[in-house]
Amino acid sequence: MCKIFKVIILSLVVISLIMGTVSVSFAQKEAQGVKVYNSPSEYQKATGRKITRYSESPMLAELVKAKKLPPVEERLPKNPVVVEPLEEIGQYGGTWYIAVTGRHYALLSYLGGRIADMDLFQYDFGGTRLLPNLVDRWKVSRDARTYTLHFREGLKWSDGEPFTTDDIMFWYKEMLTNKELYPNLPGWMRMGDKVIEINQIDKYTIEFKLPSPNGVFLYNIQGSFPLFPKHYLKQFHPNYTPIEKLTDMAKKAGFEAWHQYFWDRANGTYYTNPDCPVMRMWKVVSITPSRVVAERNPYYWKVDIEGNQLPYIDKVVIDIVSNAEVVKMKAMSGELSLQTFHFSLADYPLLKEGEKKGGYRVMLWPSTGADAVLMINHTYNEDPVIAKLLNDVRFKRALSLAINREEINQLYALGLARATQYSPSTTDPVYEKRYSEAYSKFDPATANKLLDSIGLVKRDKDGYRLRPDGKRLTISILVATDWPMHSDICEMLRKYWKDIGIELLIQPTSFELRSQRIAANAHQIVIWKIDVLFYPHYINLARGAMSAFSEGPDAVGPLWRDWELSGGKSGVKPPEDWFKVKEYLEKAASSPSERERILYAKKMWDLYIKNLWSIGVLQQLPIPIVVKDNFRNVPDKLPNSWTIRTPVNGSVEQFFIKQ
């Protein structure tokens, strides 16, 4: 679709929104949430109603009848979570169809996170509060140095074996201590130069002993704490199987070393081994280059208010397609059940127009994070001239001031996003207006003056500035092609920066290759999202000093991160302000006072504005979500973020397909 046509269509939609002729979900006055109770007894106490029996999917009932599964009462824990469905009690059965543009979206983003529900806790609807999940209760000492977590009694892995703290201690004592499996400790296990201690109290209780206080420790481990089935994985571990045999097994499977084979069997990076038992809602049963299929976990540990074991949906099918346009076509033809990826607001008019024909409805879920951020690589070293400029705050301020954010907002976000500098949202306790306004006003005149002050005054015949060595000043930006709006924004950046004499080279690539280039310190600038924007999620010691200001901890300086993780043995030593941010981050985490934590967080943001480690373009952008008309119990307006694993915060287990 040409840019002019996009502008016309989007303008018509904006007018329709203003006139009220187009109904969209973000107009709701109140967000919808699903009520969740920690146990049947808690549900009874709150409502006066008692769950008298448990039921199961016909798919599982047949297996019970054939004696291939124990009865549902024996598969559930002692106190299952009770979920009150959003609209109505669901119907069992059916398949949830999804389409994605890469293997990582299927095996990591979806089945490893967004529809997994396998974490210690669950975020509430808004993503700001932790609720019981696998852990049913916990206790924090007054000094925030001892955390005691109790798991639900009777939890089981997907193969029916008991889940206990023995599994956690297997990871802690036999995996974590093996240097081949873990050359470096996970970030959340370290506090400075000291390590967190984990103690097993009993079969259902563990204790974390922290070397120093951390008031947000549970937020730090949520989504990061590993769960590995000891009973399955010990056969691949040298403490249980001779190393010679393991090495032979690894080579026969195509791996050079036993530890590579172990991680493959343990689903260490992607969910690629269907034989490995899981705690997830759906268990992968088949993987091909173009499709991943998962089926319900018979031992899933939640029920609805009538005692029906969840989830309602039997199967998930994720098709891996070539590009976002294919996803859009499949959605419009009614092939997808609930699709949350690969749409932008530029797609909204066509998606909306096709609702009746495709038998679906379009919702707009608001983002909680930053949807378009330029992360500058401060440790880039392939070109010394560019490396110096990327570390010159005058250069970064000029790039920021040359961006017409409001124009981008109108063109690609219907004017519904926040066209702002990268900064906390207006509802965040850390928010200050000066953060959002810093170098965000469209001011090319000031941008030109800043570039002149650096000494970049000479230009070539095309108007581009010349570097000190006489070459044209050209910088590059990495963009993932499976996020179309980012490509559109890059085209606008090329125009804006040309107007101030800088040539922009756009480097389109896949998400996987983009990540590899970042890890290799081979990028100058990369455009992506930052989900971990809202407080207190970025007060996270594991993510390092740049926790708040970068996608992952390394996009704004991979070699800084190497230095941090290696204790200074490799990488590049960061600048003074990096250490100040790290100091404030550690003080925020260790403070028992919410007021103090917020004050230290503001000190971190002050240093960000001073240094401009990344440059924001758009934030809190509503994203179109396509939902089939018969796919029910889906919230109309669900806060959307990878940090809180959306749509898990909308209680995916109670989604159902209405017959």
Structure confidence by residue, pLDDT tens digits, 12-61: 444 444 333 333 333 223 345 799 999 999 999 999 999 999 999 999 99
- Phi, psi of 575, rounded to the nearest 5 degrees: -75, 175
Angle, CA of 68, 71 and 76, to the nearest 5°: 115
Helix ranges (H only) for 222-319 are 230-233, 243-252, 258-265
DSSP-based three-state secondary structure for 71: coil
**Closest Cα partner for 611 from 396, 412, 356?**
396
pLDDT for the residue 511: 82
**CA neighbours within 13 Å on the CB side: how many for 464?**
16
pLDDT for the residue 393: 98
User: Is there a contact between 333 and 496 (Cβ–Cβ < 8 Å)?
Assistant: no
User: Is there a contact between 630 and 88 (Cβ–Cβ < 8 Å)?
Assistant: no
Q: Is the peptide bond before 484 cis (omega within 30 degrees of 0)?
A: no
User: Is there a contact between 571 and 561 (Cβ–Cβ < 8 Å)?
Assistant: yes
User: Is there a contact between 650 and 634 (Cβ–Cβ < 8 Å)?
Assistant: yes
**Closest Cα partner for 637 from 629, 628, 649, 645?**
649
- Rounded to whole angstroms, the Cα distance separating 548 from 52 reads 47
Give the per-residue SS3 of 181-197: CCCCCCHHHEECCEECE
User: Is there a contact between 371 and 619 (Cβ–Cβ < 8 Å)?
Assistant: yes
User: Is there a contact between 133 and 227 (Cβ–Cβ < 8 Å)?
Assistant: no
| Terminal Cα distance for the chain, rounded | 37
- Rounded to whole angstroms, the Cα distance separating 292 from 316 reads 8
Domains of the chain, first to last: 1-95+271-366+624-659 (3.40.190.10), 370-619 (3.10.105.10)
pLDDT for the residue 26: 30
Angle, CA of 343, 347 and 351, to the nearest 5°: 100
User: Which run of H or of E encompasses 11?
Assistant: helix 3-19
- Rounded to whole angstroms, the Cα distance separating 168 from 228 reads 7
Give the model confidence (pLDDT) of 113-122 as tens digits.
899 888 999 9
Structure tokens at 370: 């930053």
Q: Is the peptide bond before 213 cis (omega within 30 degrees of 0)?
A: no
- Rounded to whole angstroms, the Cα distance separating 459 from 473 reads 9
Residues of the chain with pLDDT under 70: 1-32
Angle, CA of 593, 596 and 598, to the nearest 5°: 110
- Rounded to whole angstroms, the Cα distance separating 645 from 224 reads 12
- Phi, psi of 62, rounded to the nearest 5 degrees: -65, -40
User: Which run of H or of E encompasses 329?
Assistant: helix 324-332
Pairing of strands 474-480, 525-530: parallel
Structure tokens at 131: 């609720």
pLDDT for the residue 566: 85
Per the rule left: phi > 0, alpha: psi between -120 and 50, beta: everything else, 425 is beta
Angle, CA of 132, 38 and 71, to the nearest 5°: 110
R_g (Cα) of the chain, nearest Å: 26
Helix ranges (H only) for 484-556 are 484-499, 511-519
Report which DSSP code applies to 289.
Answer: T
pLDDT for the residue 32: 57
Spell out the residues 6+ positions from residue 386 whose beta carbon is closer than 8 angstroms to its own: 380, 475, 524
Structure tokens at 435: 């953060």
From residue 408, give the alpha-carbon distance in Å to each of 162, 528, 620.
Answer: 53, 15, 14
> What torsion do the CA atoms of 254, 257, 260, 264 make, to the nearest 10 degrees?
40
Structure tokens at 143: 């000094």
Per the rule left: phi > 0, alpha: psi between -120 and 50, beta: everything else, 643 is alpha
From residue 293, give the alpha-carbon distance in Å to each of 99, 107, 333, 365.
Answer: 12, 10, 21, 26
- Rounded to whole angstroms, the Cα distance separating 354 from 359 reads 8
Give the model confidence (pLDDT) of 317-368 as tens digits.
999 999 999 999 999 999 999 999 899 888 999 999 999 999 999 999 988 8
